[in-house]
Structure formats: C-alpha cells, structure tokens
Amino acid sequence: MRLKHFNIDFGSQIFLACSDTSRLRILNLIMNNGEMCITDLEHILEFTQTKTSRHLLYLKNSGILTPRKYNQWVFYQIKDEVFDLIKLIFQFLRRDPALEKDQQIYQTLFSNRELALNKLQIRSLNQV
C-alpha cells in the first residue's frame, strides 16, 4: 500500500522527523537493511538505549516506522505507505560519509554474526 493522500499535516510530520541527524542515521540503516532491532542500532550508532528508544518512538509516532515483535525482540521497519518518500530523501544523502560509515559497521557486525552462526552449526554437526 502506497501513500495516496499526502497532505500538509502528514508531510510536516515526516519532514520534522527527518530534521534530526540521529533519526536520519536510524532511518538510513533501516532503509538499507529492511528492518533492525534496537540493540543493533545501539551498537552501530554508539547511542544509549534511552536515546535510541526515544528516536525510534518519535519515528513510529510520526507514521514512518512500524514495529514487529518477535519473542523479546522488537524489529522496526519503514511503513509501506511512506517507503517511496523516504527512499527519495535518501537518494540525496546516499554519499554522506556518516551514513556510509554506519552501513559499513552494520556489514561488519552482520558478517561477524554470520560467522558465529556458522561456527555453531558446524559444532552441532560435529557433535552428532
């Protein structure tokens, strides 16, 4: 479902939410990686849990993010209705050094996580 009726009130909410550097960094990571949990965002951005939660709540209340709960984890993703608009915003920011660095850190953490999962799988196969 895409945004059908864009009005000035909703537009101002979106643009106010995107007026903060921390929120833009969060949105960029979520945009590039589909969905993210608060713990990963804290590690990548080096934010406190409080700061990260506050910005995620702001983005959720502004109508940009939607949460998905899985066990004790909450994953955030960009709502379908605003995806195209957020994508347009990041087309202008895609070469920003801070955003590129955040994505590189994510890739490193993700590859390390993949290595750890592979080691666990190999161990369990060897024990059988």
Does residue 1 belong to any structural domain of this protein? Answer: no
Does residue 37 belong to any structural domain of this protein? Answer: yes
Domain harbouring 64, CATH code: 1.10.10.10
Q: What is the pLDDT of residues 27-39, one digit of tens each?
A: 999 999 989 999 8
Does residue 97 belong to any structural domain of this protein? Answer: yes
- Domain range for 20 is 8-127
Q: What is the pLDDT of residues 36-88, one digit of tens each?
A: 999 899 999 999 999 999 999 999 999 999 999 988 889 999 999 899 989 99
Cα(81)–Cα(123) distance, rounded to whole angstroms?
44
Does residue 36 belong to any structural domain of this protein? Answer: yes
Domain count, the chain: 1
Does residue 77 belong to any structural domain of this protein? Answer: yes
Q: Judge contact between 13 and 45, C-beta under 8 A.
A: no
- State pTM to two decimals: 0.82
Q: What is the pLDDT of residues 96-115, one digit of tens each?
A: 999 999 999 999 988 887 76
Look at residue 21 in the predicted model and tell me its pLDDT. Answer: 95
